[in-house]
Structure 1
Amino acid sequence: MRLTTPRLHLRPFRTSDLTAVQQIYGNPKLEAMAGWAPQTTLAGSQQVLADFMQSDEVLALVTRQTQQVIGSIGIHRQAPDATTRELGFILAEAYWGQGLMLEAVQAVTAYGFEQLQLTAIWVGHFQSNQQSQRVIEKAGFPFEYELERPRLFADDQPTTECYYQLTQAAYQHQKNK
């Protein structure tokens, strides 16, 4: 899958993306917002990149202007239901507040409903992650529910996670406005 927005190329990851993966996925601030342990070793970053390269669900976000990898976005299968998927994304901190992730989310959402013929797309964020909340809401995903998650890592406190769902019907309604 390859998608293009006005300012981004969304493409499969390549081995040449390792430095960008190290920088993005090694940022403790970003990883805490996403619920992952930061990748502090080269081997950890190589494994993340290898996993991305083996998947047909995760794309690199690449600026059209500089051709630099600035994040990732995935539309993950939700077994056993092949008609719904879960959206996940991360963006390098230097690119926050520019509307880039909204562009990517809208492109992947359109792909999911128009090409994959999904019936629904889910997305969640930790309650404290207001940046993701804004992207999700601007992309038209209605709030569904929240739940408290146990600790992700040994030294974490439980956290509240908020979930949103956009259905095919709601997507079509928004598109036709």
Structure 2
Amino acid sequence: MAQLNDREIDLEQPILETPRLILRKIMATDLSAIHAFTSLDVVTQYLPFDTHQSHEQTKLFINFVLDQYDNNQLAPWGIELKPYKKLIGMIEYVFWEQENDTAELAFVLTNTHWGKGIVTEACQEVIKYGFTTMKLQRIQARSFVENIGSQKVLEKCGLKLEGILKKRLFIKGKHRDICMYAIIKDDDNRKTN
């Protein structure tokens, strides 16, 4: 347990469940499932990491994630579609400014499941967890301006566009314009008290 601002915060990452999904810790046995989508250019084109070229590259990523869990650090939930019992994506808070009660949300989903509301369902659950368990006041997310699909997900989850950060990140060989989205607890319509 961490102590911050006179309150204890449990950093242990729980399993979260929605009607169609289980959000759980990634395991070493997820190697093939994760590599199946991190090795696709169409999936990674808007992500800050390069497309995985080998299973070894994916294994290094999984080992990093497992180490994050062991050290009680932020790490992704795997998105498991209940009928398939295998990972089809990941969702996480990529940073958490505890002193400001702010965190940033990020996600990835295999392209064969795009357009089915899966990421929206996962985001809604992780946002609820952020406002209740993590005691966040602000949840933000960034998107390349070209990534219309992710922007639609964020808007469905109640995040609002705050602005476009011109040439904010140098990723994959060029400077990128980034859309900044956010939701604050006071504006959240879910029951998060």
Asked whether the two chains share a fold, i.e. TM above 0.5, the reply is yes
3-state SS in 2 of match to 1:73 = strand
Partner of 1:9: 22
Whole-angstrom distance in 2 between the partners of 1:167 and 1:34: 24
Whole-angstrom distance in 2 between the partners of 1:49 and 1:91: 16
TM-score (norm 1): 0.91
Whole-angstrom distance in 2 between the partners of 1:25 and 1:101: 16
Whole-angstrom distance in 2 between the partners of 1:90 and 1:81: 27
Matched, 1:152 2:167: no
Whole-angstrom distance in 1 between the partners of 2:100 and 2:92: 15
Matched, 1:88 2:141: no
The code of the aligned residue for 1:2 comes to I
Partner of 1:175: 190
Q: Which runs of 4+ in 1 moved over 4 A?
A: none
CA contact (8 A) 2:91 2:106 kept: yes
- Percent identity between matched residues is 25
> Cα offset for 1:150?
4.5
The code of the aligned residue for 1:54 comes to D
The code of the aligned residue for 2:58 comes to S
> Cα offset for 1:71?
0.2
- 5+ residue gaps in structure 2? 1-13, 69-73
Partner of 1:109: 127
Whole-angstrom distance in 1 between the partners of 2:81 and 2:98: 34
Write the mapping of 1:57-72 to structure 2, written as runs, cut at 5 A.
Answer: 57-72=75-90
User: Aligned residues, how many?
Assistant: 172
CA-to-aligned-CA distance 1:21-79 (integer Å, 9 cap, x gap): 11111111211111321110222111111122233431000011111200000013334
Whole-angstrom distance in 2 between the partners of 1:21 and 1:133: 23
3-state SS in 1 of match to 2:174 = coil
Whole-angstrom distance in 2 between the partners of 1:73 and 1:58: 5
Whole-angstrom distance in 2 between the partners of 1:61 and 1:150: 27
Moved more, 49-58 or 2-11: 49-58
CA-to-aligned-CA distance 1:70-117 (integer Å, 9 cap, x gap): 000001333463511100000000000000000000000000001111
Whole-angstrom distance in 2 between the partners of 1:65 and 1:159: 37
The code of the aligned residue for 2:190 comes to K
RMSD of aligned residue pairs (Cα, Å): 1.5
The code of the aligned residue for 1:77 comes to F
